[in-house]
Every structure is written in structure tokens, then in C-alpha cells.
Structure 1
Amino acid sequence: MTVTSLTNSFAFALGCIVPAPEIQLFCATVSLSMFLDLYFQVNINEDYCSQFVASFWATVIAIAFLIVYCYFAIIGIQALDTNVDGKMLLPPNSQSLEGIRIMNELIWPDYLSINYIIRKPPNFSDPIEYRNFTLMIKEMEKAENSLGSVATMHWVKDYLRYLANPDATKLDVIFGIPGAEVNGTTYMENGLDMSQFDFFINTEPYTAWKVGTHYVRDSQNRVVITSMLLIMGYNGTTSLSDKAKLLRSCREICARYTQYDMIPFDTDTELIDIILAVPSTTFNTVLFTFGSIGAVCFIFSLNIGASILAILSVVSISIGVVGFLQYWNCFLDPILMVAILMTAGLSIDYTVHIIFHYMINDHTDTVERINASFGACALSMLQAGISTFLIMFPVLFAPVEIYAVISKAIILTVICGLLHGLFIVPTFLSALPNCLTNCWPNCYAKR
């Protein structure tokens, strides 16, 4: 075995001198893998590994590792941002990337308008209702990132200008030529004079409000506004994540003024709703996945201790993957949500096998049980993990970022899964009394 491995390793190593870089990389990889295979075959002692895993110091190291591991993972989860980035779906040479950059870096940070659809406007002729509506607008203009009254648009502001200067021409309005001052105090005390509304709404340039302002006449031939549009400006938005936070705060304001039945609207509302729903959907789905894993483990093992250990190991792996993805410049979106669900499904493979083989072997000594479990599945677990890692590693450099995100999640699953399957779980299995880790007498036939 030694002669064969060394000769093959040296033979492939000679291929590194060829001029083609692709062949150099291939030969170097094969040569190194053969040498490492020989090294591990000769030096790794399963009995020594089993004795260490079953020792008191291994338990101490495992607990200390889990504390540090969970600490940084939980910090990563808390810092994980929720966003949807269209750039992830586009190749690097796409012209759409420039459009996304312009929106995120130039337009939204300077000005972003949110349209409020008011389906139950107040009675503007009533001074109390009119004052309350005006106070609401002033409160909204004081919100974070609001541009204030200079960026607020609704028909009432133009109507007050019209009442102050009914003879102003279209050019006067457009170019801001001053006329008589708007006296809003009178209308605050007495309510708006709606008798001139028909003339206002049919006068240029105020006819633009016909689209966003609907009205009828009551039995006394008075104008009653049935729905209207309120447009407010904001700045400081640099991504869909920021826009989602802004829209959520807008909805909170609308929820405090239910009498107006207001709805904030933006062209990205559907995407924003997805962004806002991703955290809760991910949590609920992952929670259901953990419960399903625990139920299946209990059905096949009939051992509550082993089932709890399997669930906790999957939870630990998933927490690590999600938390460390944040350090790898990932954010929570529908793509990562799917990757997290894949992680939960894949991680069970790295823990349930070692638990199963530990339970069904006939040994009573802890070291012998660990050794038998390693002999049954450790090599296949390593092979599966390393092969998965090697397959997914090149995907990290894919030009479309969506593939790289999935690759990152799977690679972290492999790393965390192997750590748990080959060290953490066996260590805790050996620390538990045999009465908690024995298989139910009739669930499997003894070998």
C-alpha cells in the first residue's frame, strides 16, 4: 500500500511541471490527495480517537467549543439583515446592474416618495376634522428620514394656494410667482371653504389632482372627498432593506389613524412584503423541520434521549450555518431561506448515523461503543462531507451570486456537520449513561 501510494503520488507530482495550468492544478490535487490518504491510513488510530472522545477532557473541550461557537453564531444571527438584491440574479456583464446601482446609490438616498392612499378622508369643511388631519400630516413630516413639508404633496396645499390667488395663471403657479399670502389660520378655525373646489380641480395645473382625488356631492350639493392621495418624500434609502424598514414605519403610523383607512404604497410593495415575511416564515418553517426530525428519530429509535440529542445537534448546526453566513457577507432573503431549509435537511445526515450506530452496537463499554460507531460510519461520513465540499467549492466563484450563496450554506453545513458528527455528538453520547442511549430491545435485531 505504501509503495503504491507513494509511486502514484510522485508520478502525479511530476505533472506539475507541464506548462498548462489546468493540468498542473489537476496533478497537484491528485498527488496531494493520495499522499494525505496514505498519511491518514497509516497514522490515524481509531482506538486512540475513541478514547479521547470518551474522555473527560473531550467533554470539557466540546462544551467550551459550543459556548464560543454559539456565541458568535447568535451574534451573527442578530446582525443578519433582511434584504432582496436584484444583483444576485444577474451576471456581472448585465446592463441592469447599472440601473440598480443608480437607484441604490443616487436616486433613493436623495429622494424616495411614498404614496398614501386615504380611503376615508375627513370632512374638510369641519374645522375639528380638518385640524386633526393637519396635525397628522405634521407628525408624519417629523418621522425619521422625512424631507418635511417641502416634499409633501396633497390637493389641500394647492387648494389653499388657489383660494389665495384664484386668478393666478398656469405659468404663475409653475414658476412660483408670488401672489397673495395663504392664510391657513382662518381655515383651521372654520374649516375649508369647499365651494370653489370644482373651479380648482378644473384649473391648470391643478387638474393633475383629478387622478388621485375622488369626490361626490351630497344631498346639499356640498363637495365630499371620498378618497385622496397623499405623497411624502424621504431620503437615506440605499436598498430594498431600507425601503422595507421605511414602509413598515409608514404602516405603523397609518395604524394609529385608523379613521382615515390609509395605506402606504410603493412600486416595490410586493418585494417589501416578501422581505418582511422572510424572518417569520423562515423561523416557523425551520421550527417545523426540527419537530419533524425529532418525531422521525423517535419513531425509529424509540429513545427520547437520542431524539433530543439529534434535534439539538441539528439546531446547533443550523444556528452555526445561519450565524456564520452573516460573517460571509450574506443577508436573509428568499434564496437564503431555501438554503437554510436545505441546511436543516442535510445536517441530520452528519449526526443521526453516529447516534444510530452507537445505540445498536452490543458493547457496554463507552470507548468500545464509540470505536464501533466510528468504524461503522466515520469514514463514509468523511467521504460524503469532503466530496460535497469539493463539489460545492468551485461554485463559490460562480459569476451569478445566487449560486455562491447556496454554495456557502452547503459548505458551512459540511464543516459544522463534520465537527458535530465526529466530535461533538460522540462526546456527548459518551457522557450520557447507557440507560439513556440504549436502543429499545425490540426496535432492531441485534447483530
Structure 2
Amino acid sequence: MLEMVRELESTPYSMGPNSTNFWLAEFNNYRQFFFQDDSKFYDTLKSFLQVSFNSHWETDLVWNTPDKSSKGGSKVDKFVFTTAFKISDWNVRTSLLLTWRNITSKYPEFEALVFDENNFYSDQMLELQSTILSSLGTAILTLITVCVLFIAEPSIVFWVVCTLISMDIGTAGFLSLWGADLDPTTVVNILMSIGQCIDFATHVGYRIYRSEHADPDERIKDAMGAIGWPVVQAGSSSLLAIVVMLMVPSSAVRMFARTSVLVVGTGFFHGLLVLPIIIRSFASNAKAHVPTHPH
């Protein structure tokens, strides 16, 4: 038991043995003055707890209540001890939680549980990485399905999807540079940004596909003339509505505003500049759309 405690005290960010409150360490110091074998352990423990300056340890112990058929008196069934850590970052706290649990798992005979009032959030943090990857994958597959249904040109669909993925990666990357952590609020905002991204790249790609011009330059010119200004209007109106939220003294609201600002910024860059250039350069052989009903 004491070896497990020493391992916990030696982990990173630990404040050391001086921060540990453990009744067994104090009891061993008390017990060394008595020449008794292990059969007298609980008798000595009870006398230890009866000392006035040791009575506070009683709250750390849970005694079992033996039935009439059992032999011997009551014994300690459960107990707690505390040791301090100085942690300022959620990512560090999450990794340390895994370290603590790995240490306690090496001593299964004690059935030790690591408790911290923030374990609920740390467990969420441990699940967020796999959750966000699976959610992003599902959302991107949904966007690909929508693109395939409306844009019947594989080369344009491919570059539109690449642009959407680039926008999502850029949004997540800039959020990290902006000081955002991978918490539930950030995950929700990133997933929400996928839906906002479709307002830029997909609309531009669809309008390029719908253009009736066979010449690549004329096709891009026609598409940007038809959809470019509406995209700017949509993004600008969203930006004006969201930017004031940056002044709200709430981390969740500010994170939502930051995500929206990044989505609009990356959307303008990819939808109005990157995607037309890429399609002109690498998908110039895409077939022109032939209207079903001629004018």
C-alpha cells in the first residue's frame, strides 16, 4: 500500500509526500512504540484513534459490521487518503488521470479508485478525441453524399470535398492557435462549422457545374459572376451578426463567435479564391452542363 502511495507521489506535478494525508503512515509511526504482532493490529488501531490528536483519522475509515456468526471484531473495510497535485491545464490533468489509474491498476488487491471532483470532465476529455473524429468522418461523408447528389461531375465533387476538409482543418487549427482546448464546447462548434462550410465551397462548386459554358475561363467567370456576390453577402451578414458576440463575457459564447468568424474567413478564402483556381487548373476538362429544356 505504501509503495502505491509513493508511486502516486512521484508522478509529474505532484506536490510530494508532504502533501499526502494518509492515516496508515501516522499509524505506523505510532505502532512502532508497541511490541505487538499483526494479530493485535486492530486493537492498536483503535487505541491510536482514541488519542485526541489522532481522532480526525476516524472520518477516513469505513468499518464493516460483522454478523453474529463471524469470528473476530470489526475491521476496516474502506478508507481514503489524499495527495496534492498542482495542475493548471486540462490536457495535463487528463493524461495524469490515466497515469494515476495505471498505477492503481498495478495493485488489484487494494481495489483502489482514483477520485477527483473533476474526473467527470476528464473522462469526457478522454472520449472527445475519438468522438470528434467519428463525428467529423460521419459529417464529411454526409457532405460527400450531398455533393454527389447535386453535382454529377466527379472531378468537381472531388475538389469541393477537398476544399471542405481543408476548411474544417483550418478552422480547428486556428481555434487551437486562438487558445481553444479540446473541450465539449469546442467540439460542438467544430461540428457546427461543417454545416456552415457548405454555404461557401459547395455553392460555388455547384454553380460552376451548372454553367453552360464549355470554355473553362468563361465557366469560372460565369459562375463567379452569378454566385460570388451572394456568397459575399451571406458571409458578411453572418459575420456582422456574430462579431458582436466576441464582447460577451462568456467563454462558450466567445468560442462560438470565434468559430463563426474563422468559418466565414476560411469560407471566403476557399470558396472565392482557392476552389475556382483549383477547378480551373485541375478540372478544366469537366463537361459543361447541358440544360434539359433549351431556351
TM-score computed with the length of structure 2 as normaliser? 0.84
Which residue of 156, 175, 199 corresponds with 1:325? 175
Distance 1:253 1:438, change over 3 A: farther
Preserved CA contact (<8 Å) 2:61 2:78: yes
Q: Distance in 2 between matches of 1:372 and 1:264?
A: 64
What is the Cα deviation at residue 369 of structure 1?
A: 1.3
Q: What amino acid is the match of 1:233?
A: A
Which residue of 196, 204, 221 corresponds with 1:346? 196
Distance 1:296 1:192, change over 3 A: farther
Q: Distance in 1 between matches of 2:107 and 2:155?
A: 53
Q: What is the aligned partner in structure 2 of residue 129 from structure 1? A: none
What is the Cα deviation at residue 323 of structure 1?
A: 1.1
Any idea what the Cα deviations from partners look like across 1:20-59, whole Å, max 9, x if unmatched? xxxxxxxxxxxxxxxxxxxxxxxxxxxxxxxxxxxxxxxx
Q: Distance in 1 between matches of 2:63 and 2:251?
A: 50
The answer to whether the aligner puts 1:234 opposite 2:85 as a matched pair is yes
Which residue of 24, 34, 47 corresponds with 1:199? 47
Q: Distance in 2 between matches of 1:318 and 1:191?
A: 66
TM-score computed with the length of structure 1 as normaliser? 0.58
Any idea what the Cα deviations from partners look like across 1:159-185, whole Å, max 9, x if unmatched? 22332357xxxxxxxxxxxxxxxx9xx
Q: Distance in 2 between matches of 1:389 and 1:446?
A: 39
Q: Distance in 2 between matches of 1:390 and 1:399?
A: 18
What is the Cα deviation at residue 389 of structure 1?
A: 2.0
Identical columns (%): 22
Which residue of 254, 262, 267 corresponds with 1:417? 267
What is the Cα deviation at residue 280 of structure 1?
A: 3.1
Q: What is the aligned partner in structure 1 of residue 247 from structure 2? A: 397
Distance 1:446 1:192, change over 3 A: farther
Which residue of 26, 41, 44 corresponds with 1:158? 26
What is the Cα deviation at residue 434 of structure 1?
A: 5.4
Q: What amino acid is the match of 1:345?
A: G
Distance 1:376 1:445, change over 3 A: farther
Q: What amino acid is the match of 1:367?
A: D
The answer to whether the aligner puts 1:134 opposite 2:22 as a matched pair is no
SS of the residue 2:77 aligns to: strand
Preserved CA contact (<8 Å) 1:360 1:446: no
SS of the residue 2:60 aligns to: coil
Q: What is the aligned partner in structure 2 of residue 276 from structure 1? A: 126
Preserved CA contact (<8 Å) 2:172 2:190: yes
Which residue of 372, 383, 395 corresponds with 2:222? 372
What is the Cα deviation at residue 286 of structure 1?
A: 1.8
Highest relative contact order (Cα 8 Å, sep 6+), 1 or 2?
1
Preserved CA contact (<8 Å) 1:201 1:209: yes
Distance 1:208 1:354, change over 3 A: same
Which residue of 101, 124, 138 corresponds with 1:251? 101
Q: What is the aligned partner in structure 2 of residue 28 from structure 1? A: none
Preserved CA contact (<8 Å) 1:395 1:404: yes
Q: Distance in 2 between matches of 1:252 and 1:394?
A: 46
Unaligned runs of 5+ in 2: none
Preserved CA contact (<8 Å) 2:7 2:103: no
What is the Cα deviation at residue 203 of structure 1?
A: 4.1
Q: Distance in 1 between matches of 2:271 and 2:173?
A: 19
- Measured on the aligned residues, the alpha-carbon RMSD in Å equals 3.0
Q: What amino acid is the match of 1:159?
A: F
Q: Distance in 2 between matches of 1:257 and 1:296?
A: 53
What is the Cα deviation at residue 317 of structure 1?
A: 0.6
What is the Cα deviation at residue 223 of structure 1?
A: 6.0
Distance 1:433 1:160, change over 3 A: closer
Q: What is the aligned partner in structure 2 of residue 107 from structure 1? A: none
SS of the residue 1:227 aligns to: strand
Unaligned runs of 5+ in 1: 1-132, 167-182
Asked which structure has the greater CA Rg, the reply is 1
Q: What amino acid is the match of 2:146?
A: V
What is the Cα deviation at residue 347 of structure 1?
A: 0.7
Preserved CA contact (<8 Å) 1:325 1:409: yes
Q: Distance in 2 between matches of 1:137 and 1:202?
A: 25
